[in-house]
Every structure is written in C-alpha cells, then in structure tokens.
Amino acid sequence: MPDRVIVEVDEDLSDLIPGFLTHKRADVATIVDANARRDYAEIGRIAHRIKGEGTSYGFELMTEMGRSLEQAATMRDDAAVATLARQLLNYMDRVEIVFQPSRD
C-alpha cells in the first residue's frame, strides 16, 4: 500500500468523518465532471468549500488542495484541475485517521 498519511482528528468528530470523506469523494467526482464541461464556476465553488471544510475537520492538506483547485479554476487550467483532483483522491485513499481526545 502507498505511504499512509496520518491525520490527527478530534475524537468528537469521529461520527462525522466517514460521511465527510464520502462527500469529499463525491465533490471530486463532480469536479472531474465539471472540468470536462469546462464549468470553472462550479469547480471554484466546490474547491472553495473544500478549502474551508478541510481544516475544520483536521485535514489541513485538503484545505491546501482546495486552495490550489480554486486557483486553477480561476486560471481556467484544465490540466491543473485534473491533476489536483487526482491528487486529492490519492490523498483520501492514503489518509489514516488517528482520533485524539478532545482538548476542551
């Protein structure tokens, strides 16, 4: 298996993480479809959401990828969008979540 990416997440989010990752995979599929249609507005909207949600759930790298996707959509760079979408899926395939006790 490829190198795992360890992500520490607050245990209070443990019930939300599987659904979150499922939705992000669906978002990537939508980005790929939108890229085929050259719908940069849709790509930008989804990328902006990924950028905002990533860190909220403890996935800082996902936030960075969302930021890069948003920039690629602004530049109308089909190749960059496709590459970043693949990288985001690869990241989610390799992520290993370690739940940490709440810091409250």
Please say if the pLDDT value at position 1 is more than 60: no
Rg value, the chain, Cα:
14
Cβ-based burial of 84 (10 A; exposed 0-12, middle 13-18, buried ≥19): buried
Angle 78-94/60-75 helices, nearest 10 degrees?
170
Is residue 2 a contact partner of residue 92, using CB atoms and an 8 Å limit?
no
Domain locations in the chain as residue ranges:
5-99
According to DSSP, residue 76 is labeled T
CA 93/CA 91 separation, integer angstroms: 5
Q: What is the pLDDT of residue 2?
A: 63
Select 5-99's CATH number: 1.20.120.160, 2.130.10.10, 1.10.150.80, 3.40.47.10: 1.20.120.160
Q: Which two tokens stand for residue 59?
A: 């996935």
Q: Which two tokens stand for residue 1?
A: 């298996």
Question: Tens digits of per-residue pLDDT, 18-71?
Answer: 999 999 999 999 999 999 999 999 999 999 999 999 999 999 999 999 999 999
Range 1-11 average pLDDT:
87
Q: pLDDT digit string (tens) for 59-102?
A: 999 999 999 999 999 999 999 999 999 999 999 999 999 999 98
DSSP 11: G
State the pLDDT at residue 6.
Answer: 95
With contact defined as beta carbons under 8 Å apart, do 31 and 46 qualify? yes
